[in-house]
Amino acid sequence: MITRKLFVASLALGAVFSVQAKEITVWSWDPHFNIPIMKQAGEIYRKTHPDVTFNVVDMGKSDVEQKLQTMLASGVTEGLPDIVLLEDNKIQRYIQFYPGAFEPLDGKIDYNVFANQKIATMTYENKIYGIPFDSGVTALFYRKDIIEQAGFSDADMRNLTWDRYIEIGKQVTSKTGKKMLAADPSDNPLVTIMMQSAGSWYFDKDNRPTIANNPVLKAALQYYVKINNAGIVKPVFGWAEATNALNSDKNNVASVITGVWGISTIKAEPNQAGKWRVAEIPIMEGVKGATHASNLGGSSWYVLASSKQKDIAINFLSDIYVHNIDFYQSILKERGAMSSNLLAREGDAYNAPAPYFGNTHIWSDFSDWLKIIPSVNYGIYSDEAGMALIEQLPQILKGKPIDQALSDIEEQVKTQIQ
């Protein structure tokens, strides 16, 4: 029998526990990648902090962005999460449009362990926001068996120029009947990969458009035209067609140039295990600042300044995403999550061979490329510039002078951002 005294004591104990219990709410997306990784991070943290719980909310990426933007614009902080995941090319928009909304973390986080390119995306007015998460470091993924049918070796696929890549693509297409590359003509990732590989973007550090008279962007578009005119491209529309071009042995292509996160899509076809290889992306020969390294995608974690559990949220992110190297080894093995934490590359997982890719050491390669990705200013209007470029691509492929197209793109962007 529960006495009145015992009942009151149990209520008091429950009240103490409810006061002590601290919940961290996280907004994120992707139930197969970001969500389970963050839940795993929370479980690890709770082993030493049992009084902390995690509410990881799974929403679509656009839903996260829309809800966050709506609430920040209204000035309402009640209901905002403690931590939110945002894409690297979007964060400047939030930091600059909503000053004070995100907690600056410089002085609280050891940023020396992260790639410089990631830190640049989250820095504004000498303050650093956020914790770098996954990388979008790019690579040239290619089918070794198809390349060999055309008379080329692994050595032929390393240290390529774009011109040499096109030459090899022509031979692959003529000798095997396979296209060298799949590309969506209504999208621009190949152009942006080339741009960043030479340290260039649509804007300068003051968010002024640098599109017209941009020699790097002009060179990227010239190569884009060359690639499409060479007859080596298989047009794909949407994610389903792009995936099919990689996974189907009937309709597949010989290579794809994308971010490291594309590995999960490539590996979705078990019958192609051992056939794929990885090399650095081609270089824009003769372009100032050009490298074999670039970025496509990637995201980072941010703490809201309005968080009631701000100190705990920061401590959690520091413990797990800055200092827990075993965590990074685990998510690489289980999820293919390539970290931008440079200390993680010292672990066994990053140095282990990848069976699907012929037991080659792809992770150490990605780590090497990650360190040399040129930093760029994504600015606050990358979406507007990207859409303006996409609108011009069909005309450029039909012969519109690139200088004229770039001038038109810049004028459109200036009109939109005024």
What are the pLDDT digits (tens) for 22-80?
999 999 998 888 999 999 999 999 999 999 999 999 998 889 999 999 999 999 899 99
Locate 380 and state its tokens. Answer: 């606050």
Contact 142, 276 (CB under 8 A): yes
147 contacts 156 by C-beta, under 8 angstroms? yes
Helix ranges (DSSP H) in 31-181: 34-46, 61-74, 91-97, 116-121, 144-149, 162-176
**Nearest CA-CA partner of 168 in 147, 190, 144:** 147
* pLDDT over threshold 90, residue 206: no
* Cα dihedral: 204, 389, 192, 398 (round 10): -140
pLDDT of residue 209 exceeding 60: yes
The pLDDT of 388-405, averaged and rounded, is 95
3-state helix, strand, coil in the chain (%, to 5): 50, 15, 35
* Helix H or strand E encompassing 283: none
Rounded Cα distance, 198 and 194, in Å: 7
Tokens linked to 23:
């919940």
d(C-alpha 305, C-alpha 105), whole Å:
10
- Measured CA distances, 264 to 145, 234, 267 (Å): 20, 21, 5
Which contiguous run of DSSP H or E holds residue 299?
A: strand 299-303
DSSP letters, 195-249, are HHHTT--SB-TTS-B--TT-HHHHHHHHHHHHHHHTT-EEE--SHHHHHHHHH-T
Cβ proximity of 202 and 211 under 8 Å: yes
Q: CB of 138 within 8 A of CB of 295?
A: yes
| Dihedral angle computed from the Cα positions of residues 379, 380, 384 and 390, in that order, rounded to the nearest 10 degrees | 30
**pLDDT confidence tier of residue 9, bands split at 50, 70 and 90:** very low
> Could you read off the pLDDT of 286-332 as tens digits, one per residue?
999 999 999 998 899 999 999 999 999 999 999 999 999 999 999 98
- For residue 350, what pLDDT is reported? 85
Contact 219, 225 (CB under 8 A): no
pLDDT at 12: 46
**Is pLDDT above 60 for 14?**
no
Q: Which pLDDT band holds residue 20 (cuts at 50, 70, 90)?
A: low
Phi/psi of residue 149, nearest 5 degrees: -60, -30
Residue that has been written with the tokens 């020396």 in this structure: 112
Lowest mean pLDDT of 153-167, 222-236, 344-358, name the range: 344-358
DSSP state of 173: H
What letter would DSSP give residue 399?
T
pLDDT tens for residues 104-126?
Answer: 999 999 999 998 888 989 999 99
Find all residues with CB under 8 Å of 247, minimum gap 6, and list them: 265, 266, 268, 269, 272
What pTM value is reported for the model?
0.83
Per-residue pLDDT band for 253 (boundaries 50, 70, 90) equals very high
